[in-house]
């Protein structure tokens, strides 16, 4: 997979809905009903972060949910890429980008949304062929104003901002011409997941799916 084709596929996935849920799953038994609630609410692209022991099993469970497109977040190493692809991930997300990680995703034919927080990082990825990036950590890196400023001289790149995104600020990001979608965890709060309140999560997903994009 070339960087260009990886970005094309990642952009297609990002265009499925205005929000990509960023999920930290502690119990794989929650994975399928959680994915079902989010997909039914209109959020088909799901990012499961590799931050818990249950993450890979959760990806495998979510990969079976009809209508869902599950990806693996927090990819850091080539080993993460292999494990994520084996579990059923259809795309990957990373907080930053290294040559080894990019090589591994291209070799595994796993579309990657590589992270960038500065103009230099974005330019290096564009030079390699990536034009659909993750802006992370969004709020800590200057928020929507910073992303707008990066977009002015580098209009070739689209972004999915993640990190500190909430209902209070998401509209600021979605109003930018270089933002395709945003990543957020508020659509699947841990208390609702632990309570198994899938109806409430579906409602949150419906509200997020209705957000307007530029």
pTM to 2 decimal places: 0.96
For the stretch 145-186, pLDDT in tens is 999 999 999 999 999 999 999 999 999 999 999 999 999 999
Task: For residues 3 and 204, give the distance between their C-alpha atoms in angstroms, rounded to a whole number.
Answer: 34
**Radius of gyration of the chain, Cα coordinates, nearest whole angstrom:** 16
139 is catalytic: no
Residue 32 is predicted with a pLDDT of 98
Catalytic annotation, pick one of 9, 47, 85, 202: 47
Q: 103-131 burial, b if ≥16 CB within 10 A, otherwise e? A: ebbbebebbbbbbbbebebbbebbebebb
User: Which CATH entry fits the domain spanning 3-209: 3.20.20.70, 3.40.50.300, 3.30.360.10, 3.40.50.2300?
Assistant: 3.20.20.70
Residue 159 is predicted with a pLDDT of 98
Q: Where are the alpha helices (DSSP H) in the chain?
A: 3-14, 31-40, 55-62, 78-87, 99-108, 119-128, 143-151, 170-174, 190-195, 198-209
202 is catalytic: no
Q: Is the pLDDT of residue 188 over 90?
A: yes
Q: Is the pLDDT of residue 140 over 90?
A: yes
Decide: 71 and 46 in contact? Cβ < 8 Å: yes
Average pLDDT over residues 29-40: 98
Q: Is the pLDDT of residue 214 over 90?
A: no
**Rounded percentage of the chain residues whose pLDDT exceeds 70:** 100
Residue 116: which pLDDT band, with cuts at 50, 70 and 90? very high
Catalytic annotation, pick one of 61, 85, 134, 202: 134
Residue 4: which pLDDT band, with cuts at 50, 70 and 90? very high
Max CA pair span of the chain: 46
């Amino acid at each position: 997979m070339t960087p260009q084709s990886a970005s094309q596929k990642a952009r297609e996935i990002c265009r499925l809905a205005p929000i990509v849920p960023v999920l930290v799953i502690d119990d794989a038994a929650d994975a399928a009903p959680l994915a079902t609630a989010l997909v039914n609410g209109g959020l088909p692209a799901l990012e499961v972060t590799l931050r818990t022991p249950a993450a890979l099993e959760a990806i495998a469970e979510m990969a079976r949910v009809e209508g869902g497109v599950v990806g693996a977040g927090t990819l850091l190493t080539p080993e993460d890429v292999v494990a994520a692809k084996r579990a059923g991930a259809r795309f990957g997300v990373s907080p930053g980008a290294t040559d080894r990680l990019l090589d591994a995703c291209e070799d595994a034919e796993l579309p990657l949304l590589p992270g960038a927080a500065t103009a230099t990082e974005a330019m290096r990825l564009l030079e390699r062929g990536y034009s659909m990036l993750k802006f992370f950590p969004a709020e800590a890196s200057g928020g929507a104003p910073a992303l707008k400023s990066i977009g002015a001289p580098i209009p070739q790149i689209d972004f999915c901002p993640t990190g500190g995104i909430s209902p209070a600020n998401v509209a600021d990001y979605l109003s930018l011409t270089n933002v395709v979608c945003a990543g957020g965890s508020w659509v699947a709060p841990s208390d609702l997941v632990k309570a198994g309140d899938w109806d409430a999560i579906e409602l949150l997903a419906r509200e997020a799916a209705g957000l307007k994009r530029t």
